[in-house]
Amino acid sequence: MMPREILRYPHPGLRQKAKEVKELKDVKELLEDMWITMYEFKGIGLAAPQIGENKQIFVADVEGKRMVLINPRILTREGEERGEEGCLSIPEVTVEIPRAKRIEVEGWNEKGEKIREKFEGLLARVIQHEIDHLHGTLILDYLSPYEKERLIKKLREEKK
């Protein structure tokens, strides 16, 4: 298996709201591709839309805890903390983003088992980041309009 191409900002696929997964039998190969791609590009999380798959799926490997979440929903959020985040779809850019300290999430794992679990720390941050991708939200969206415009201009100049 080879890693898949990661969509880069401003690709329109990054802005689409991902569709709910109805059949788990269709995701086994996709999950393998996602793991390979995430590790190849040295990420700790990857959402399916980042590789051009409009499905509500993400994988994460944070501090030795590997997880797959399909059709995830955040049920509760507690506290707030700010932290720097990067994104494989916007390389070499970090943004300070406020996130909930603790979250409760439900969804399904790769076996079709329902998961309902609480997370905190870096894993909670990664889960929130990846769920943002499933809704078409990027780290750039947390910037002020001025900062966002300035960064987008810089990204365009670097692309030339």
- Which tens digits make up the pLDDT trace of 126-150? 999 999 999 999 999 999 999 999 9
Distance (Å, whole) CA 89 – CA 7:
6
**pLDDT band at residue 6, thresholds of 50, 70 and 90?**
very high
**pLDDT band at residue 154, thresholds of 50, 70 and 90?**
confident
**pLDDT band at residue 1, thresholds of 50, 70 and 90?**
confident
- Which tens digits make up the pLDDT trace of 69-85? 999 999 999 999 999 99
**pLDDT band at residue 158, thresholds of 50, 70 and 90?**
confident
Of 63, 120, 130, 158, which residue is the catalytic one?
A: 130
More confident residue, 118 or 24: 118
Tell me phi and psi for residue 31, to 5 degrees: -60, -40
Q: Is the pLDDT of residue 160 over 80?
A: no
Catalytic residue list contains 130: yes
| Residue-averaged pLDDT of the chain | 96
pTM for the model stands at 0.96
Which whole number is the average pLDDT over 81-105? 97
pLDDT for res 30: 96
Q: Is the pLDDT of residue 156 over 90?
A: no
Sorted by where each starts, the structural domains of the chain and their CATH numbers stand as 12-159 (3.90.45.10)
pLDDT for res 155: 84
Residue 73, beta-bridge partner list: 106
Contacts of 132 (CB under 8 A, 6+ apart): 138, 139, 141
